[in-house]
Amino acid sequence: MTKIPQKWLVVISVLLGTFTIILNNSMLNPAVPHLMNVFDAGAVATGWVITIFMVTMGMTMPLTGYLSDKYGKKQLFITGLALFLLGSVLGAFSWSLSSLIVFRGVQGIGGGMMMPLSLALIFQAFPRKERGLAMGIWGIAAMMAPTIGPTLGGFIIELSTWQWLFLCNLPTGILGLVFSAVFLKQTEKVPDIRFDRWGFVTVTLGVGSMLFALGRMSELAQLYNPVNLLLIVFGLAALVVFVKIELRVEQPLLDLSVFRAKAYTFSVWVSMISSMSLFGGIFLLPLLIQNVYGLDAIMTGIAFLPAALFAGIFMTIGGKLLDKRGPALTVTSGLTIMALGTAALGFMTLETSIWLIIGLNAIRGIGMGLSQMPATTAGMNAIPEKFVSRGSAMNNVFRQMSSALGIVFVSIYFEVRRGQIFATNGSSIEEASLTAINEGFLIIAFLCFISIPAGILLGREHKKQEALLEKEAAEDEPQASSQ
């Protein structure tokens, strides 16, 4: 360990924790039908196992900036990982569906503390010119875990008991705790920091209501559900009040001034579109492979593996390119490749080879690897160092919301269009499903195409900032030499 530079030990420490969280959450998605049988519960009630994690995680994220300033980033990261592991152990010993949902909520709180701090800790450990590669390595966890998680979860359900979905978190989680305790550096606490309680109340209610409503929507009837509509309206109103509060208070919970940095704003947009594309594909591809082509869940898992591998490889390549040339070429080419690969998946037929589908999904993985983490890194580099924790929290909240929105949109669109086509065109259910899936991919591709200018604008803003920093450094040199 002594031969590995300290800064890379920081990356390993946070990667172990975040990979554990994302992998566990994605493993549980295919386990919902099994848990319905275990606890003799309906789909709506069991779906809370997934929804509660998303809601508590999203509600906790806005707090991380304040808590890390008050107690230190290292302490908060370790606390979050410990909470997640506690929820995992308790989850494995759940005696009812209600208890399992509560313990999943504990996991979500822990995850909400950790995810924004992962970026902040890496930014603290690396100089500006090296952050791209470091974020690319860390991003492997964020990209690979959602793709291999469902396959691993399916294997566990088939070959073992559901409790191992939680107990398998312990090896990497405990290792992450040890690494974090040893290798993460203590950070300075901010004296006299004040808690923005009304900002906390409004953002918690706003984000919580929105994520709760989105988590309940998986079919058209739920979109028109009065409770869901009320939650969406209430959530939006609470977020409007939150913005007004944050613009007035002296010490806001989330400093919205970070959006004055245009590079950060463009990077958030790219992250949101990448998240929607990723999770939209995670929803649509299993339907295409299993419902249309009649293949099994194992083949579905295999279809995701090359995409995860290429995403990981090209995240590191994208990180290196970002450090050397800036984000314009990297992010723009990534968005273009992702858009083209996604659009190609919109022209599948019943005779299309499964290997072509796997190849096109791998191309999508290349695009995501080149666009998502480099954009996030460039955006975070554009804001002052003292706001990194808050900027990271905001980025994660938007990414969480867009992921949920992507799944809700494609699931409802698939259900409605398949029903329309099946009822009016005289098509088989497989043909109707294929058409709806193709259209879903084309809509996602359209969003990627219209986001390409954001990559170009991000590059321009990055160049302006680099020129400004070089100018400031040149002005400081004569002063330093005269002293």
Model confidence pLDDT, tens digit, residues 136-172? 888 777 777 776 777 787 778 777 788 898 998 899 8
Distance CA 214, CA 428 (A): 30
More confident residue, 281 or 215: 281
Confidence band of 43 (pLDDT split at 50, 70, 90) = low
Most confident range, picked from 226-230, 241-245, 274-278: 241-245
Of residues 395 and 100, more confidently modeled: 100
Phi-psi region of 252 (alpha: psi -120 to 50; beta: other; left: phi over 0): beta
Per-residue pLDDT tens digits for 185-223: 887 777 778 888 898 899 889 888 888 887 777 666 677
Give the pLDDT mean for 257-262: 85
Mean pLDDT confidence for 325-334: 89
Q: What is the mean pLDDT of residues 120-131?
A: 84
- How does residue 476 score in pLDDT terms, banded at 50, 70 and 90? low
Is 293 in a helix, a strand, or coil? coil
Q: With left for phi above 0 and alpha for psi between -120 and 50, is residue 194 left, alpha or beta? A: beta
Nearest to 63 by CA among 232, 252, 238: 252
Q: Where does the pLDDT of residue 71 fall: very low under 50, low under 70, confident under 90, or very high at 90 and above?
A: confident
DSSP state of 218: S
Let me know how long the chain is. Answer: 483
Domains of the chain: 1-185 (1.20.1250.20), 197-250 (no CATH), 254-464 (1.20.1250.20)
Cα angle: 235, vertex 241, 246; to 5 degrees = 120
| One-letter amino acid for residue 310 of the chain | F
Decide: 254 and 203 in contact? Cβ < 8 Å.
yes
Give the Cα separation of 400 and 406 in Å (integer): 10
With H, G, I as helix, E, B as strand and everything else as coil, classify residue 368: helix
Buried b or exposed e, range 343-372, using 16+ CB within 10 angstroms: bbbbebeeebeeeebbebbbbbbbbbbbbb
Q: What angle do CA 186, 189, 190 make, to 5 degrees?
A: 155
| pLDDT confidence tier of residue 179, bands split at 50, 70 and 90 | very high
The whole-number pLDDT of residue 1 equals 46
Contact 183, 232 (CB under 8 A): no
Considering 281-285, 357-361, 477-481, the range whose residues carry the highest mean pLDDT is: 357-361
The answer to whether 281 and 414 have CB atoms below 8 angstroms apart is no
pLDDT number for residue 68: 85
Name the token pair of 144. Answer: 């690979």
Average pLDDT on 98-125 reads 89
User: 310-336 b/e with 16+ CB inside 10 Å = b?
Assistant: bbbebbbbbbbbbbeebbbbbbbbbbb
**What's the one-letter identity of residue 156?**
I
